[in-house]
A and B are shown apart, each in its own frame.
Chain A
């Protein structure tokens, strides 16, 4: 009996081994974790099942940062994957390194037609070169929104979601008056408070059109409405409307919102899915576009999340396989699969239209999730709302966060904090320019 089983197992292994050997394999490293990571893995399985020529070997890493760090280490040892899911902040270094295969070029080389004009401009501009060609492939895309507790708002007599910060402030006051202790569960996040805030207000984060036009860039966020906004947050905190909710303080903002302790929190639309999953029965909530101050005309926000990069130094066969996978991801079916299983938004107009035609965004749990698309496409992207292209951006974000934390803890004024963050960020920028002297963004 045992013998028979063993023989059968050997035969089976030989068979599958042979079947595998015929396929062209390529590696893909991604940074999404947990549920989202499983959905990425599922896209690979779907791709592998959809044809028998190629095989995607997908390896999850513990977060975007780890995925990029590990890829850099592997790249330097010549053992890197073909595809890398890289986050927005890693873009500038990758672009200047030149160690990638521009995705529009790859698709052209392998005669795969992709309708590049089909991508939303707010997404396209972030990931393309100055000549408008796609450098990396848009993948999981999001933009920030705010989540609010409808029951709390109704109790405080607020009928519509605030569109301006002035209305938001009034809402905080009304909530407080109605007995709500914590109006806004806040945690400092430069992506929302500084970057997307500046996009929506059409104000600069940095000179050179947010770094797109050169490397000799200086940060400007400490001189704009952003400063006023951060001072307001501090004031609202002192007045008791806003409460700091971070991991270190015991409970994160999303949990504080879901448990009904706080009425508002700001986050990526990607959390829409999570809030649905963890919210207790009967929590009435909705999402709305991030507010703008009166006197400013609302502009589009930009994409967050990550895109897929094809790295240099691989064989033609591997590129061919990767191109097939990217083409597979770009189909409306794949897009619908990904969008309906995560909180992310479609990246193509066609994909969005197909979902709209189905009434996808009419019903729970996807209801109103396309508010993110409305925010992303509110206006045509201009020079200040295309995105941000800064070297050392991860450290600039870290400086901003540490300084804002210090100001919120009362160690310095918000103006001192942002001035320091900008000055230290400028040092990063000049180091970056020195590291890549003589180069410019493609």
Chain B
């Protein structure tokens, strides 16, 4: 492997400074603060705190409901990532094949990404409403079968569908760009060899897409862990009976709503460690199978 060496340069340092400052102010500083709070009991209105060592972590990690929250966060993250990427890839391939009306699709497909998460949640509240929504037709087939207000797995399903819908757009843009950067000569050559569109997708386009796929998996997973708040808050509020109490939502509920700043800080540290660990695993083990050209 080639290693690059750079000489220290003042100009580079000056050019980097604004970016570093932003990262410091919005990431390192708050993280350090959270780290400190995680080892203390912080009074919400200021006025001091007490050092409690690992008590906050012990409390969080021995709480069965916390592990339930970790589990449902994992399910949410992997399911939304898989679902949204599968949909995005399918749509991108259709657009890439320039089927009729693809220009209009290309624009509209990007739109969901511009919609704020709470707005997505509100819109889906109508879709999933068991009495009046699109899904209520299930209840006309068999009364009472669709009720996310009382069924945990159905509530989880609603946030997964809403979250996946919102993420399709982002993946779509990247997939489309990647597909369009595949040299035409390759596609044409394989077509001349008699490969049908499906065969070309599986044997030619997908392998060439792996760097994009890898990038999107990491971004989508991280995003699903940290950016799910708006959807949960408007769609289910963490309920029923904690079924959709994702880790980020629990941090908000305990910290801001319940004034337990220290417990929430400890949870943030755990969440950060988890996302870092997942990303590490992917770089270490999954990236080996990625072929950069």
Please list the residues of chain A having a beta carbon within 8 angstroms of any beta carbon in chain B.
Answer: 65, 69, 72, 75-76, 90, 93-94, 96-99, 244, 246-251, 392, 394-395, 398, 402-403, 405-406, 408-409, 411, 427-428, 431, 434-437
Contact = CB atoms under 8 A, between A and B. Distances in A.
A248 B52 contact: no
Contact of A98 (B41, B47, B131, B237): B47
A250 B52 contact: no
A395 B155 CA distance: 22
Contact of A94 (B45, B49, B152, B242): B45
29 contacts: A69-B257, A75-B45, A93-B44, A96-B43, A97-B43, A97-B44, A99-B47, A247-B149, A247-B237, A248-B240, A249-B131, A249-B147, A249-B150, A250-B129, A250-B133, A250-B149, A392-B258, A395-B260, A402-B241, A403-B241, A405-B240, A405-B241, A411-B241, A428-B260, A431-B263, A435-B43, A435-B262, A436-B43, A437-B50
A250 B155 contact: no
A394 B50 CA distance: 22
Nearest to A412: B241
B43 A65 contact: no
A434 B50 contact: yes
A69 B259 CA distance: 8
Nearest to B236: A248
Given A69-B256, A249-B130, A395-B260, 14 more contacts: A65-B257, A75-B45, A76-B45, A93-B259, A97-B47, A394-B257, A394-B258, A395-B257, A398-B257, A409-B150, A431-B59, A431-B263, A434-B52, A435-B41
B241 A406 contact: yes
Contact of A405 (B130, B148, B239, B260): B239
A250 B151 CA distance: 13
Given A249-B147, A251-B131, A409 B41 contact: no
A378 B162 CA distance: 49
Q: Which 3 A-B pairs have the closest CB atoms?
A: A248-B149, A249-B149, A97-B45
Contacts of A97: 43-47
Nearest to A68: B259
B253 interface: yes
A431 B56 CA distance: 10
Contacts of B257: 65, 69, 394-395, 398
Interface of B: 41-47, 49-50, 52, 59, 129-133, 136, 147-152, 155, 236-237, 239-242, 253-254, 256-260, 262-263
A246 B133 CA distance: 15
Question: Dominant SS at the B interface?
Answer: loop
Given A93-B259, A97-B47, A99-B47, A398 B59 contact: no
Contacts of B260: 392, 395, 428, 431
A96 B46 CA distance: 11
A402 B43 contact: no
Contacts of B152: 409
A405 B244 CA distance: 13
A247 B131 CA distance: 11
A403 B241 CA distance: 6
A248 B45 contact: no
A244 B239 CA distance: 14
A99 B239 contact: no
A395 B152 CA distance: 21
A434 B46 contact: no
A435 B260 CA distance: 10
A251 B240 CA distance: 15
Given A250-B132, A395-B254, A398-B258, A99 B241 contact: no
Given A69-B257, A395-B260, A99 B46 contact: yes
Nearest to B150: A409
Contact of A99 (B45, B150, B151, B254): B45
Contacts of A90: 259
B239 A248 contact: yes
B213 to A, nearest CB: 36
A76 B46 contact: yes
Contacts of B41: 431, 434-435
A7 B178 CA distance: 60
A65 B99 CA distance: 51
A350 to B, nearest CB: 34
A129 to B, nearest CB: 17
A435 B50 contact: yes
Contacts of A246: 149
Contacts of A435: 41-43, 49-50, 262
B140 to A, nearest CB: 14
Given A75-B46, A249-B150, A250-B132, A427 B59 contact: yes
